[in-house]
Amino acid sequence: MPDFHSFRVEAVILRHNDYGEADRMLTLYTAQLGKTRALVKGARKITSRKAGHLEPFTQVKLQLAKGRDLPLVTQADTVETFLPLRENLMLTSQASYIIELLDRFTYEDGSENSSIFRLLTDTLSRLAAGASPWLVTRYYEMRLLDYLGFRPQLFQCANCRREILPEDQYFSFSAGGVICPTCGRGLPRLKPISTETLKYLRHFQRSTYAAASRAQPATEVQAEAESLMQGYFTFLLERELNTPGFLKKIKS
């Protein structure tokens, strides 16, 4: 947290927790400071007018003041409530996944990342506007991997660097990309990936959302892409958690 007396941020509320007797602690993703936390004093008192709209998924503008342990919220204005994400259980769980993925892969290091902030608000808007949750979520995952520095290699074999041909291939979580059938015979712990699924993942990796949103993959392709991406995120998270640098960042 930089040294400041009063600071204005644009934020999405990732989660909140009770803090002390009557306060609430917000975990935020902001355009200006990346992930950060802030306290809302007296938020749990019935008379608090500040706390009502400080729910998860909400996009807000906050005035923060320097506090003893954490910055204090002195003013809060709602920018977008994304109401459909609260009213539809399926959308609520999808939005929770989007938020949780970001929460687990970022730490409070005070670094500005307006690209991730924009990706987050765009993704919540698309979900709330009724776009296909599968498409919105896969596009989000692919962009997030880019911004986090884990862009998967989908055009060359991640082992021998030869160009990937239109045939069924493998995917390696540890190599971070596609493995050609020749290399695939000798390597452990690979996931099969069909030509069709690879086609969509490549499309999402290099297209704008407008272009990607025209994709209509078959149900089995959707299932394969979803399981592959979730496996890759799980692998990355476990590896990061075992990295001393990552633990140091979390503890600081």
CB of 165 to Zn ion, least distance (A): 10
Among 40, 76, 127, 157, binds Zn ion (CB under 5 A): 157
Q: Does 190 bind Zn ion (CB under 5 A)?
A: no
CB of 195 to Zn ion, least distance (A): 16
Among 73, 144, 183, 236, binds Zn ion (CB under 5 A): 183
Among 13, 28, 142, 180, binds Zn ion (CB under 5 A): 180
Task: Give the count of residues interacting with Zn ion (CB under 5 A).
Answer: 5
Region binding Zn ion by CB under 5 A among candidate stretches 7-15, 104-112, 156-164, 227-235: 156-164
Region binding Zn ion by CB under 5 A among candidate stretches 18-26, 104-112, 149-157, 240-248: 149-157
Q: Does 201 bind Zn ion (CB under 5 A)?
A: no
Q: Does 159 bind Zn ion (CB under 5 A)?
A: yes
Residue 113, Cβ density class (10 Å: 0-12 exposed, 13-18 middle, ≥19 buried):
buried
Is the CB of 112 or the CB of 167 nearer to Zn ion?
Answer: 167
Is the CB of 174 or the CB of 243 nearer to Zn ion?
Answer: 174
List residues near Zn ion by CB under 5 A: 157, 159-160, 180, 183
